[in-house]
Amino acid sequence: MGNSDSVMVQKRMARFRPEERSVIDGVFKRLQAGGPGKTLQLEALQASLGALVPVTMVTRMFWGLCSIKPGLAEPGRAGAALGPDREQLMVFLADVLRGTAEERAPLVMAMSHNDAGRPQAVSCQQVAAFLEDLITAVVHILTRRGRLQGWRPQQMGDTAMGVKLLAEQMTSDLRPSDPMTCDLSCLEDWVFRVPQVAQYLEVLVAEGLDVSLSGWTAPALLPQCRDTDWTRLTVLLDVPTLMFLAPQLPDGCSAPWRLVFSTQLHGESFTRMAAALQHHGPTMLLLRDSRGHVFGGFASTAWEHKPQFQGDSRCFLFSVFPTLRVYTATGYNEHFMYLNQHQQTMPNGLGMGGQHDYFGLWLDSDFGRGHSRARPKCTTYGNPQLSADEDFVLDAVEVWAVGKPPAPAEVRSGTTGPRFLHQLELV
């Protein structure tokens, strides 16, 4: 980098430390790999990224690069078919890795448009297609880089469906002035409010293009999976859904997830499930009904058997399929968690939100049935009906401990980990 660089490039490079600038400056030569001319060809980009990133996302990156016009900071460049030059690549890297929402939004528009030209707007469907390619690329990178944190996608839910659901969830936060069209101001607002967009782009560029900056640390997109025997297990979650749900927790991705109950492993027993819910701190409850809807709730504290409501406003309900959503506390009441058994005068079962006989999520103590009576919405969490039918038949249940690992004394007492899971099988 020298004084011959445009003012736009010099301003962008000022965001990096001196040792980082040499890294940014060297990316173009590495990608070009001695190719002809002063531009970067799509084939060269594909050759560099092909092992990590799907071809469709590489093409979108190419058009994002071509959209930059150094010196004017706006989309559009004559002769884009020739390929982006060194300055365009440097601006692209700076805007993705250290840019603002206003700088990233034009790139999102160009990559959503996925062609030459200067789009003034893109459709919500185009943004969703861009997100599907971006999320798929991130999952590929996590897999190829060995950063799945102990999770096994081949024994989890459908990744392709999870990608579509996460892309739909993220695009649901778009606020277009026209119901079907997103202009630049709409995308700027969206990129600012939905941090995953910038985060996923950073992972794509930093790890996909192998841009090793001293000031950048790869974000933890998945929590660690510990003390889980995958031998006979297929779990309800998929990787993209986990990427969405884990950051919603108070500890984010920092606390490990440990499977403490699964109907697949331990059978259909409310007593076993209730035993697993205690002594583990915060837990994530996942259910699938007989018609395929997947949903559940996060309990911020350890469950207790008692005839009163418990928990706090950190609890939430969520849906996974057919839509991916989280429903947080409304403040209307404090009916966050309820767990009771063997009582004659009070309901026996597990509930979250609403009120007795009208829970946002309810599991009967006989374990085979439950309800989600939330019409029009649950008073506690504001969620709609989560199950396919108001009164549902249960197909599968999982309980994951998602808080900090228990104290050593608790582990020695046999209340967690694989030994505890084995004890559950004997109940």
d(CA 343, CA 354): 20
Q: Are strands 391-401 and 369-371 parallel, antiparallel or unpaired?
A: antiparallel
Task: Give the per-residue pLDDT at 2.
Answer: 54
Residue-wise pLDDT for 288-304, tens only, equals 999 999 999 999 999 99
- What is the percentage of the chain residues whose pLDDT exceeds 90? 68
- pLDDT-based confidence at 422, cuts 50/70/90? very low
Q: Which residue has the higher pLDDT, 129 or 418?
A: 129
The CATH fold assigned to 2-70+83-209 is Recoverin; domain 1 (1.10.238)
Domain ranges of the chain: 2-70+83-209, 249-401
- Mean pLDDT (whole number) for 256-270: 94
What type of residue sits at position 50? G
Contact 262, 229 (CB under 8 A): no
Q: What is the mean pLDDT of the chain?
A: 89
Q: Does the pLDDT value for residue 226 go beyond 70?
A: yes
Residue-wise pLDDT for 171-204, tens only, equals 999 999 888 899 999 999 999 999 999 999 999 9
Q: Which residues pair with 182 in a beta bridge?
A: 122
d(CA 253, CA 255): 6
Task: Give the per-residue pLDDT at 409.
Answer: 53
DSSP 38-89: SB--HHHHHHHHTTTS-HHHHHHHHHHHHTEETTTTEE--TTGGG--BHHHH
Query: In the numeric block, which tokens belong to residue 70?
Result: 């150094």
Q: Which residue has the higher pLDDT, 3 or 263?
A: 263
Comparing C-alpha atoms, which of 388, 358, 362 is closest to residue 374?
Answer: 358
Q: Which of 79-93, 116-130, 269-283, 320-334 has the lowest mean pLDDT?
A: 79-93
Comparing C-alpha atoms, which of 383, 379, 161, 390 is closest to residue 289?
Answer: 390
- Mean pLDDT (whole number) for 367-389: 95
- pLDDT-based confidence at 77, cuts 50/70/90? very low
Task: Give the per-residue pLDDT at 343.
Answer: 77
Q: Are strands 225-226 and 257-262 parallel, antiparallel or unpaired?
A: parallel
pTM of the entire predicted model: 0.90
The tokens 């228990």 sit on which residue? 406
Task: Give the per-residue pLDDT at 408.
Answer: 55
